[in-house]
Amino acid sequence: MVYIPRFDLEKLCVGIFTALGIPQEEAADSAEILVSADARGIRSHGVARIKRYVDGISANLIKGNVQPTVLRETPVSLVLDAEGGMGLSLSKKSMECVISKTKDHGVGFCSIRNSNHFGIAGYYAEMAARQDMIGVTMTNTAALGVPTSAREAMFGTNPIAFAVPGLGDQMFSLDMATTAVTRGAVEVAAREGKALPPGWAVGTDGLAASDPVRLLDDMLFKRGGGLLPSGGYKGYGLAVMVDILTAVSSGGVFGGAVMDSEITSARVCHFFMAFRIDLFRDPNEFKQDISRMLDELTALRPAEGADRVYYAGLKEQEAEKKCEKEGVPLTGEVWKTLKETADGLGVPLPAPLLKENKF
């Protein structure tokens, strides 16, 4: 593993984006969100995706300095056409708008069509949670998920994030795909030469898939096969719900029509929501109860073979704190790709901190 100080890794990503013509503010927002995924241990959604961004920006499929079109707006809602802009920075600004509406009116909503990859969904839900709100975020993705009883993909990994604050820095932060795993997890397995375990995906024959490289290729070219829904029909239903809230609500593309290209991710749709805690009760009392709930969960006796009990977001929060001291861990393969990309664009590289322990 290669360990890079967080600020230096963000600076590297900013340099890559600005070298491709992305404005400084958009580049900084995008770098912050991508690096936050690696800092939390979510390697599937971090800087490993830089090459797909570089390819997409170079092909004008992902655009900087785009002013989204407002399709409809009310005091509590907003619908946008992203016009192919940077999904990361646009999503941050959109959640800021939702939070502003929520401060004024108690609730806020935003759906967006024609956008691009927006990183980890939890980042945006947590923005609301830090403002004494409950945050909810969703996005659809390229059709990679196979419905229950089918053998071809018809919905995306379609993640859902939900975040609420506790006392201090405690936070319940659920960020989950509606498929058993994300495509990024399959990409990680492909980079590391590992077989897929049973329960992750099916191949073109409808049977368990183990070869991540073949699966990624089959999904890209729509030969059949794909990721299994999380929890069977339950994940399948949730994935369709995400398509409804993100794409149908904004007039965007949904289901099997959402397709990646060979060089970059699909144009996708997002949904952001927040509501103030004080609509229900005193925020401090609410946070006290959240913290009590989370403390009770972590105090439970662990099962045989487990060392402790976690709640959603705790592992990521602990990993992020660790990174502040030790640097952000990247695999050698990801660092090599970053180095080649930076060298090709004339962007200086930070000095890595090499360690023997694995992340």
Which of 147-151, 189-193, 238-242, 258-262 is predicted most confidently? Answer: 238-242
**pTM greater than 0.75:** yes
Residue 222 scores a pLDDT above 90: no
At residue 106 the predicted structure's pLDDT band, cuts being 50, 70 and 90, is: very high
pLDDT tens by residue, 12-52: 999 999 999 999 999 999 999 999 999 999 998 999 999 99
3-class secondary structure for the chain? Answer: CEEECHHHHHHHHHHHHHHCCCCHHHHHHHHHHHHHHHHCCCHHHCHHHHHHHHHHHHCCCCECCCCCEEEEECCCEEEEECCCECHHHHHHHHHHHHHHHHHHHCEEEEEEEEECCCCCHHHHHHHHHCCCEEEEEEECCCCCECCCCCCECCECCCCEEEEEECCCCCEEEEEECCECCCHHHHHHHHHCCCCCCCCCEECCCCCECCCHHHHHHHHHCCCCEEECECCCHHHHHHHHHHHHHHHHCCCCCCHHHCCCCCCCCCCEEEEEEEEEHHHCCCHHHHHHHHHHHHHHHHCCCCCCCCCCCCCCCHHHHHHHHHHHHHCEEECHHHHHHHHHHHHHHCCCCCCCEECCCCC
